[in-house]
Structure 1
Amino acid sequence: MQWVVVGTAYCALVYLIGAKQLSFGRGISKEEFGKIFGPATMHAIGHIAANISFAAVAISLTHTVKTLEPAFNVILSRLILGEATPLPVMLSLLPIMVGVGLASAGELSFNWTGFISAMLSNLTFGFRAVWGKAAMTKTLSSTAVYAYTTLISMIVCLPFAIGMEGPQLQAGAAAAIAKVGEARFYGDLFMVGLLYHLYNQFAFNTLQRVSPVSHGVCNVVKRIVIIFSSVLFFNQVLTQQAMVGTVIALAGTWLYTDLSSKHKHKKPEAGGGGKPATA
């Protein structure tokens, strides 16, 4: 919850000091609000689902499952934006799926709560990427779209946070403060919220420049670092099968990136009259 609260406070502060282009940019119309409400809701649900998965299984498994995000983006991009993915590029996603299956089956901490939550996060983040891309216009930048996404996400999350965890928040905060101290507790909350907001803002800035599918694949690079960092810092043990599955999933991501790049830079064949041929 702190990531949307801190993120909203950050956007408001930046806007008030005059750096509007780094925040909300401008006011939005009812129509624009409607377009942003969808990805903002998916943003909120996706992060809640991911955090449930983190609590249920090893961090490495959650991020391995979330390498399936590009596959969800392929389907949703086709259904919502009408963007077709070439067959060779689409087939390159199969190793990712196989790798995730192997890693999940070989992970010692596997349980269905963690797996289903991670898959729900994939689905909602797929909708967030596709709908968020559609909400970006020439007059409403990716930074502004994400600022409003954060604000709306806070409004969506707040009632659930108060209703489900409100009675436990005070006791939980008191226990954490007793363990690490008040300054460390609030300082960590603030920094985690701020860094999480900035990470997602940069992700939206990237989304404005690439397709939702490529954006999902870019996220996998981040997951490579997180998977192996979790093994090092949290002493998590990867079985041989889980390790093989993770490597296959990451190799599939490289294959997708390579094929996608080649297709993107492939020149269309010339048709009659020197004009590009149309399908």
Structure 2
Amino acid sequence: MDETTHKSSLMQKYIKIFLVVALYWVVSISMVFLNKSILGDAHGGANDAPLFVTWFQCLVTVAICFFLSRAATLLPGVVKFPQVGILDAGVVKKVLPLSIMFVCMITFNNLCLKYVGVAFYYVGRSLSTVFNVLFSFIILGQSTPLPAILSCAVIIGGFMLGVDQEGQAGSLSIAGVIFGVLASASVSLNSIYTKKALPAVDGSIWQLSYYNNVLASIIFLPVILLSGELPAIILIVTNSAAAYWMLLFSTGICGFAIGYVTGLQIQVTSPLTHTISGTAKACAQTVLATTWYNEYKPTLWWLSNAIVLLGSMAYTRVMQLAMKTEHAKQRVIDESASEPLQKNPSIL
């Protein structure tokens, strides 16, 4: 390969990475803003039915998975998607714990977004990393390097400063903060349960998404009935205009798309780059939200966001170095184990 061809190949690779990362940012930020639009604020009135909204989004994901599965059957050379349909009882049993946690995660995410502004949403849900360290130790028995624990302490400090600044500005929602903390915990647990459930569907993310959303749609029904949202749902169904349903359907499409673009970003970059991209996206989302909603934030409020951002990036860097060290140790062990075989092939 000559130098010109090599440069052209690198340029195409970088352009592809840029477009994928940009797509992830657009879909992810759009999803947050659309969800905020459909959920309204803490005083949403008659259309106050966040659980119904979340349930509907699950149904949209199921419908899209089913449609793509049938399209893959009819157009095998054009559409690639695993076959989905009747649920297998054995798989359901293994995926059910994840689905319960999934319901908690998306419910708390939407409730947090309902009670807080988009600008504070990042800080409100910033404890996911902290809970990830905690639950990885409690459930998986994985230890965390001290520098990473110190990074988590920085994140907690930024979170507390952000809550304090929201309180001083008179815009603090205690319910929003509580739901944000619960959402952070649920996100961490959801990741752990996802790893446990993937083998049940032979590692297929789309199969898992289908099972997850079907089960979540069923689990949501009694939760919605017990929540007292039924009168609000009746008003939504009978009084809402077509524009409302189009917006609601759009949030469901974004919910499905975020799963695809997340996997795509990890595929063309790396899990570490995905984490950095997500952190930077959240920062850009905060700036965009304050501009869009014409919100004034004091210096200490911005400082809280910066502290959370720096703590998250420090944690990511520490864990990256720890993984490199672990891989290097494993390589030495593997090479040491192979030396006797190389010196004395007859033992094979």
* TM-score tier (shorter): 0.7 to 0.9
- Which residue of 2 is the match for residue 268 of structure 1? 329
1:193 partnered with 2:252: yes
One-letter amino acid of the structure 1 residue matched with residue 71 of structure 2:
I
Q: Percent identity?
A: 19
Distance 1:99 1:273, change over 3 A: closer
**Partner residue, 1:92:** 151
Aligned counterparts of 1:227 and 1:237: Cα–Cα separation in 2: 12
For the 8 Å contact 2:70–2:83, the answer to whether it is kept is no
Deviates more, 1:201-210 or 1:57-66: 201-210
Higher Cα Rg, which structure: 2
Provide TM-score, normalisation by structure 2: 0.68
1:137-190 C-alpha deviation (Å, 9 max, x unpaired): 28231222122111111111133335522222242455552xxxx2x3222221
How many angstroms does 1:83 deviate by? 2.9
Superposed, 1:111-260 pairs within 5 Å as: 111-137=173-199, 139-162=202-225, 164-172=228-236, 176-177=240-241, 182=242, 184-203=243-262, 219-260=278-319
Map 1:8-157 onto structure 2 (within 5 A). Answer: 8-18=62-72, 22=81, 29-107=88-166, 108=169, 109-137=171-199, 139-157=202-220
Work out whether residues 146 and 201 of structure 1, in 8 Å CA contact, stay in contact via their aligned partners in 2: no
CA-CA distance at 1:239 after TM superposition: 2.5
RMSD: 3.2
How many angstroms apart in 2 are the aligned matches of 1:206 and 1:154? 27
Give the gaps of 5 or more residues in structure 2.
1-53, 74-78, 339-348
Q: Which amino acid aligns with 1:263?
A: A
* Paired amino acid for 1:15: S
1:2-28 Cα shifts (integer Å, max 9, x gaps): 211111111121222336963565866
**Contact kept? 1:49, 1:117, Cα under 8 Å:** yes
1:262: Cα distance to partner?
1.8
* 1:83 match: secondary structure: coil
Structure 1: tracts of 5 or more residues without a match: none
C-alpha distance in 1 between matches for 2:130 and 2:270? 16
How far apart, CA to CA, are the structure 2 residues paired with 1:206 and 1:85? 26
Tell me how far 1:32 sits from its aligned partner: 2.9
Q: Secondary structure at the match of 1:237?
A: coil
TM-score between both structures, scaled by the size of structure 1: 0.83
Distance across 1 between alignment mates of 2:334 and 2:263: 40
**Distance (Å, rounded) in 2 between the aligned partners of 1:210 and 1:131:** 21
How far 1:250 sits from its partner (Å)? 0.3
